[in-house]
Amino acid sequence: MTPHLPALAAPVASGPASSFSGDFFDLLRRTGTSPFPDAAALSRAGGAPGAVTIGHSPSLSAEATTVISFHFRDGVVIAGDRRATAGHTIMYDRADKVIEIDADTVMAIAGTPATAFEMARTLAHSFQYYRRSQLQPLSLEAKVRALGRLIRENLAMTLQGVGMVVPILAAQHRPGLDAALGAGAAIPPTLYFYDALGAQFLAVDHAMSGSGSPAARSVLNYINRWSGKLARERDEREAIALALQLLEVAAETDTATGGIDRRTHIYPQVKVLTAPGGTRDVSVEEMREVLPGI
Protein backbone atom coordinates (compact mmCIF):
# COMPACT_ATOMS: atom_id res chain seq x y z
CA MET A 1 0.00 0.00 0.00
CA THR A 2 1.37 3.38 -0.95
CA PRO A 3 1.30 5.65 2.11
CA HIS A 4 -0.91 8.71 1.85
CA LEU A 5 0.66 12.06 2.65
CA PRO A 6 -1.91 14.04 4.66
CA ALA A 7 -1.65 17.80 4.81
CA LEU A 8 -0.49 19.47 8.00
CA ALA A 9 -3.53 20.60 9.95
CA ALA A 10 -1.98 22.11 13.09
CA PRO A 11 -1.52 25.91 12.96
CA VAL A 12 1.94 27.30 13.54
CA ALA A 13 2.26 29.84 16.35
CA SER A 14 3.26 33.32 15.35
CA GLY A 15 6.24 35.18 16.75
CA PRO A 16 10.03 35.18 16.46
CA ALA A 17 10.34 31.56 17.57
CA SER A 18 8.22 30.40 14.64
CA SER A 19 10.02 32.28 11.88
CA PHE A 20 9.92 30.34 8.64
CA SER A 21 13.46 29.01 8.35
CA GLY A 22 12.30 26.27 6.00
CA ASP A 23 13.45 23.57 8.44
CA PHE A 24 10.50 21.20 8.72
CA PHE A 25 12.25 18.96 11.25
CA ASP A 26 12.77 21.95 13.55
CA LEU A 27 9.07 22.75 13.21
CA LEU A 28 8.16 19.22 14.30
CA ARG A 29 10.39 19.48 17.37
CA ARG A 30 8.98 22.88 18.38
CA THR A 31 5.40 21.65 18.07
CA GLY A 32 6.11 18.33 19.79
CA THR A 33 5.00 16.25 16.82
CA SER A 34 8.23 14.52 15.81
CA PRO A 35 7.42 11.00 14.56
CA PHE A 36 10.64 9.54 15.95
CA PRO A 37 11.42 8.97 19.65
CA ASP A 38 14.09 11.05 21.34
CA ALA A 39 17.22 8.91 21.71
CA ALA A 40 18.24 10.39 25.07
CA ALA A 41 14.77 9.99 26.55
CA LEU A 42 14.50 6.41 25.35
CA SER A 43 17.94 5.65 26.78
CA ARG A 44 17.00 7.13 30.15
CA ALA A 45 13.76 5.15 30.18
CA GLY A 46 15.63 1.97 29.37
CA GLY A 47 17.93 2.45 32.35
CA ALA A 48 15.21 3.28 34.84
CA PRO A 49 14.14 0.63 37.38
CA GLY A 50 11.17 -1.31 36.12
CA ALA A 51 11.30 0.34 32.70
CA VAL A 52 10.15 -1.68 29.72
CA THR A 53 12.51 -1.69 26.74
CA ILE A 54 11.75 -2.87 23.26
CA GLY A 55 13.58 -6.07 22.44
CA HIS A 56 13.87 -7.48 18.94
CA SER A 57 11.24 -10.06 18.08
CA PRO A 58 10.61 -11.29 14.52
CA SER A 59 6.87 -11.06 15.12
CA LEU A 60 6.93 -7.36 16.05
CA SER A 61 7.60 -5.85 12.65
CA ALA A 62 7.21 -6.75 9.01
CA GLU A 63 10.39 -6.26 7.02
CA ALA A 64 10.63 -5.28 3.37
CA THR A 65 13.51 -6.93 1.55
CA THR A 66 15.07 -6.38 -1.87
CA VAL A 67 15.29 -3.06 -3.72
CA ILE A 68 17.65 -2.29 -6.60
CA SER A 69 18.59 0.73 -8.68
CA PHE A 70 21.11 1.47 -11.39
CA HIS A 71 21.94 4.02 -14.05
CA PHE A 72 20.92 3.48 -17.65
CA ARG A 73 21.52 5.65 -20.70
CA ASP A 74 18.83 8.25 -20.01
CA GLY A 75 18.42 8.13 -16.23
CA VAL A 76 17.99 5.64 -13.41
CA VAL A 77 15.64 2.73 -12.81
CA ILE A 78 14.46 1.87 -9.29
CA ALA A 79 12.71 -1.42 -8.58
CA GLY A 80 11.60 -3.49 -5.63
CA ASP A 81 9.88 -6.78 -4.94
CA ARG A 82 6.52 -6.79 -3.17
CA ARG A 83 7.01 -9.17 -0.22
CA ALA A 84 6.99 -8.13 3.44
CA THR A 85 7.96 -10.67 6.08
CA ALA A 86 8.03 -10.97 9.86
CA GLY A 87 10.67 -13.51 10.76
CA HIS A 88 9.97 -16.52 8.56
CA THR A 89 6.33 -15.58 8.02
CA ILE A 90 5.08 -13.90 4.84
CA MET A 91 2.93 -11.02 6.04
CA TYR A 92 2.04 -9.33 2.75
CA ASP A 93 2.84 -9.82 -0.92
CA ARG A 94 1.77 -6.45 -2.31
CA ALA A 95 3.95 -4.04 -0.34
CA ASP A 96 5.06 -0.87 -2.13
CA LYS A 97 8.76 -0.34 -1.48
CA VAL A 98 9.49 2.26 -4.16
CA ILE A 99 7.95 5.54 -2.99
CA GLU A 100 7.74 8.77 -4.98
CA ILE A 101 8.62 11.64 -2.64
CA ASP A 102 8.17 14.32 -5.30
CA ALA A 103 8.39 14.55 -9.08
CA ASP A 104 12.19 14.37 -8.96
CA THR A 105 12.85 12.18 -5.93
CA VAL A 106 12.24 8.47 -5.33
CA MET A 107 12.97 6.53 -2.14
CA ALA A 108 13.31 2.74 -2.14
CA ILE A 109 13.02 1.05 1.24
CA ALA A 110 14.53 -2.05 2.80
CA GLY A 111 13.76 -2.58 6.46
CA THR A 112 10.67 -1.95 8.54
CA PRO A 113 7.80 -0.56 6.43
CA ALA A 114 6.10 1.31 9.29
CA THR A 115 9.26 3.34 9.95
CA ALA A 116 10.07 3.73 6.26
CA PHE A 117 6.60 4.99 5.36
CA GLU A 118 6.78 7.52 8.20
CA MET A 119 10.17 8.67 6.90
CA ALA A 120 8.71 9.03 3.40
CA ARG A 121 5.78 11.11 4.65
CA THR A 122 8.04 13.33 6.75
CA LEU A 123 10.48 13.75 3.87
CA ALA A 124 7.72 14.71 1.42
CA HIS A 125 6.30 17.26 3.86
CA SER A 126 9.76 18.73 4.49
CA PHE A 127 10.29 19.28 0.75
CA GLN A 128 6.88 20.92 0.41
CA TYR A 129 7.35 23.04 3.52
CA TYR A 130 10.70 24.38 2.31
CA ARG A 131 9.35 25.15 -1.17
CA ARG A 132 6.32 27.02 0.17
CA SER A 133 8.11 28.92 2.94
CA GLN A 134 11.27 29.80 0.99
CA LEU A 135 9.64 30.07 -2.46
CA GLN A 136 12.25 27.82 -4.02
CA PRO A 137 12.83 24.07 -4.21
CA LEU A 138 15.19 22.24 -1.91
CA SER A 139 18.59 21.54 -3.47
CA LEU A 140 19.68 18.03 -4.36
CA GLU A 141 22.32 18.04 -1.62
CA ALA A 142 19.78 19.14 0.98
CA LYS A 143 17.39 16.36 -0.05
CA VAL A 144 20.13 13.77 0.36
CA ARG A 145 21.11 15.10 3.80
CA ALA A 146 17.47 15.30 4.91
CA LEU A 147 16.99 11.55 4.55
CA GLY A 148 20.26 10.90 6.38
CA ARG A 149 19.02 13.13 9.19
CA LEU A 150 15.78 11.14 9.47
CA ILE A 151 17.73 7.89 9.67
CA ARG A 152 19.89 9.31 12.48
CA GLU A 153 16.80 10.49 14.35
CA ASN A 154 15.54 6.91 14.17
CA LEU A 155 18.76 5.62 15.77
CA ALA A 156 17.07 4.97 19.12
CA MET A 157 14.69 2.45 17.57
CA THR A 158 17.46 0.94 15.45
CA LEU A 159 19.58 0.30 18.55
CA GLN A 160 16.58 -1.32 20.23
CA GLY A 161 16.48 -3.87 17.40
CA VAL A 162 13.32 -2.72 15.65
CA GLY A 163 12.50 -0.04 13.12
CA MET A 164 15.75 -0.12 11.13
CA VAL A 165 15.56 1.25 7.59
CA VAL A 166 18.38 1.14 5.01
CA PRO A 167 17.01 3.04 1.99
CA ILE A 168 18.12 4.09 -1.46
CA LEU A 169 17.45 7.60 -2.77
CA ALA A 170 17.26 8.58 -6.44
CA ALA A 171 17.02 12.32 -7.06
CA GLN A 172 17.77 15.02 -9.61
CA HIS A 173 17.59 18.75 -10.31
CA ARG A 174 14.86 19.52 -12.82
CA PRO A 175 16.27 21.70 -15.65
CA GLY A 176 15.89 25.43 -15.09
CA LEU A 177 15.00 25.24 -11.38
CA ASP A 178 18.46 26.12 -10.11
CA ALA A 179 19.44 29.63 -11.16
CA ALA A 180 23.08 29.03 -10.26
CA LEU A 181 23.30 26.40 -13.00
CA GLY A 182 21.93 28.61 -15.72
CA ALA A 183 18.73 28.38 -17.71
CA GLY A 184 17.97 24.94 -19.03
CA ALA A 185 20.95 23.29 -17.36
CA ALA A 186 20.24 19.60 -16.81
CA ILE A 187 21.77 17.43 -14.11
CA PRO A 188 21.37 13.67 -14.65
CA PRO A 189 19.68 11.72 -11.85
CA THR A 190 21.95 10.52 -9.05
CA LEU A 191 21.76 7.53 -6.71
CA TYR A 192 22.61 7.46 -3.02
CA PHE A 193 22.59 4.63 -0.52
CA TYR A 194 22.73 4.87 3.26
CA ASP A 195 23.89 2.87 6.24
CA ALA A 196 21.82 2.32 9.39
CA LEU A 197 23.38 5.39 11.05
CA GLY A 198 22.44 7.80 8.27
CA ALA A 199 25.72 8.16 6.39
CA GLN A 200 25.12 8.70 2.67
CA PHE A 201 27.21 7.39 -0.20
CA LEU A 202 27.06 8.34 -3.88
CA ALA A 203 26.47 5.28 -6.07
CA VAL A 204 28.41 5.59 -9.32
CA ASP A 205 26.76 2.66 -11.12
CA HIS A 206 24.19 0.99 -8.90
CA ALA A 207 22.79 0.76 -5.38
CA MET A 208 20.97 -2.14 -3.77
CA SER A 209 19.62 -2.94 -0.33
CA GLY A 210 17.84 -5.76 1.43
CA SER A 211 18.36 -9.44 2.08
CA GLY A 212 18.26 -10.43 -1.59
CA SER A 213 20.62 -7.70 -2.77
CA PRO A 214 23.90 -9.71 -2.64
CA ALA A 215 22.69 -12.10 -5.35
CA ALA A 216 21.33 -9.30 -7.54
CA ARG A 217 24.50 -7.25 -7.09
CA SER A 218 26.69 -10.20 -8.07
CA VAL A 219 24.71 -10.81 -11.26
CA LEU A 220 24.81 -7.12 -12.21
CA ASN A 221 28.57 -7.00 -11.61
CA TYR A 222 28.96 -10.05 -13.85
CA ILE A 223 26.85 -8.45 -16.59
CA ASN A 224 28.82 -5.20 -16.42
CA ARG A 225 32.12 -7.08 -16.53
CA TRP A 226 31.52 -9.77 -19.12
CA SER A 227 28.37 -9.15 -21.18
CA GLY A 228 29.97 -6.51 -23.41
CA LYS A 229 27.27 -3.96 -22.60
CA LEU A 230 27.18 -2.01 -19.35
CA ALA A 231 23.89 -1.37 -17.60
CA ARG A 232 24.41 2.39 -18.02
CA GLU A 233 24.69 1.90 -21.80
CA ARG A 234 21.25 0.30 -22.10
CA ASP A 235 18.11 2.11 -23.18
CA GLU A 236 15.03 2.39 -20.97
CA ARG A 237 13.37 -0.77 -22.27
CA GLU A 238 16.51 -2.84 -21.73
CA ALA A 239 17.01 -1.33 -18.27
CA ILE A 240 13.50 -2.27 -17.15
CA ALA A 241 14.00 -5.83 -18.40
CA LEU A 242 17.33 -6.08 -16.57
CA ALA A 243 15.77 -4.80 -13.33
CA LEU A 244 13.08 -7.49 -13.52
CA GLN A 245 15.68 -10.17 -14.18
CA LEU A 246 17.76 -9.07 -11.18
CA LEU A 247 14.73 -9.20 -8.89
CA GLU A 248 13.91 -12.69 -10.15
CA VAL A 249 17.47 -13.79 -9.34
CA ALA A 250 17.09 -12.35 -5.84
CA ALA A 251 13.76 -14.16 -5.38
CA GLU A 252 15.35 -17.46 -6.41
CA THR A 253 18.05 -17.21 -3.75
CA ASP A 254 16.33 -15.31 -0.92
CA THR A 255 13.19 -16.63 0.76
CA ALA A 256 12.24 -13.15 1.98
CA THR A 257 12.12 -11.72 -1.55
CA GLY A 258 8.96 -12.21 -3.55
CA GLY A 259 9.18 -13.03 -7.23
CA ILE A 260 6.70 -12.60 -10.05
CA ASP A 261 3.46 -14.49 -9.36
CA ARG A 262 1.47 -14.93 -12.56
CA ARG A 263 -1.41 -16.69 -10.81
CA THR A 264 -2.18 -13.77 -8.49
CA HIS A 265 -0.85 -11.11 -10.89
CA ILE A 266 1.82 -9.85 -8.49
CA TYR A 267 4.66 -8.02 -10.24
CA PRO A 268 7.58 -5.95 -8.95
CA GLN A 269 7.25 -2.23 -8.52
CA VAL A 270 9.39 -0.31 -11.02
CA LYS A 271 9.91 3.42 -11.48
CA VAL A 272 12.07 5.32 -13.95
CA LEU A 273 13.61 8.73 -13.24
CA THR A 274 14.86 10.77 -16.21
CA ALA A 275 16.07 14.37 -16.49
CA PRO A 276 13.46 15.53 -19.03
CA GLY A 277 10.40 13.80 -17.62
CA GLY A 278 10.91 13.20 -13.90
CA THR A 279 9.45 10.10 -12.27
CA ARG A 280 7.39 7.56 -14.20
CA ASP A 281 5.69 4.36 -13.06
CA VAL A 282 6.25 1.29 -15.21
CA SER A 283 2.97 -0.53 -15.80
CA VAL A 284 2.47 -4.28 -15.61
CA GLU A 285 1.66 -4.31 -19.33
CA GLU A 286 5.01 -2.69 -20.08
CA MET A 287 6.81 -5.23 -17.88
CA ARG A 288 5.19 -8.07 -19.81
CA GLU A 289 6.19 -6.44 -23.08
CA VAL A 290 9.87 -5.85 -22.25
CA LEU A 291 10.30 -9.30 -20.71
CA PRO A 292 7.94 -11.71 -22.50
CA GLY A 293 9.04 -14.61 -20.31
CA ILE A 294 7.10 -13.23 -17.35
Inside any domain, residue 195: yes
Instruction: Kindly report the backbone phi and psi dihedral angles of residue 271, in degrees, each rounded to the nearest multiple of 5, phi listed first.
Output: -130, 150
Q: Are 147 and 107 in contact (CB under 8 A)?
A: yes
In a domain, 109, yes or no: yes
pLDDT below 50 — which residues of the chain? 1, 4-18, 45, 47-60, 179-183
Whether 195 and 150 have beta carbons less than 8 Å apart is answered as: no
Q: Is 293 part of any domain? A: no
Q: Which domain holds residue 39?
A: 20-46+61-177+184-288
The catalytic residues are 65
Task: Tell me the per-residue pLDDT of 112-150, one tens digit each, with 9 for 90 and over.
Answer: 888 999 999 999 999 999 988 888 888 999 999 999 999
Indicate whether 124 belongs to any domain.
Answer: yes
Residues 77-102: tens digit of each pLDDT: 999 999 998 888 888 999 999 999 99
In a domain, 294, yes or no: no
pLDDT of residue 156: 87
Sign of the CA dihedral with 271 first, then 272, 275, and 277 last? negative
**CA torsion sign, 47 to 153 to 4 to 67?**
negative
Give the CATH number, domain containing residue 96. Answer: 3.60.20.10
Please tell me the distance from the alpha carbon of residue 82 to that of residue 29, in angstroms, as a whole number: 34
What is the number of domains present in the chain?
1
Give the per-residue pLDDT at 21.
65
pLDDT (0 to 100) of residue 13: 42
Angle at 100 between CA 24 and CA 179, to 5 degrees: 65
**Cα 180 from chain centroid (whole Å):** 28
56 lies in some domain = no
Q: What pLDDT sits at residue 179?
A: 46
What's the rounded Cα separation, in Å, for the pair 37 and 123?
17
How far CA 290 is from CA of 21, 201, 237, 244, 287, in Å, comes to 47, 31, 6, 9, 5
Residue 9 lies in a domain: no
At 48 the pLDDT is: 41
Domain assignment present for residue 8? The answer is no
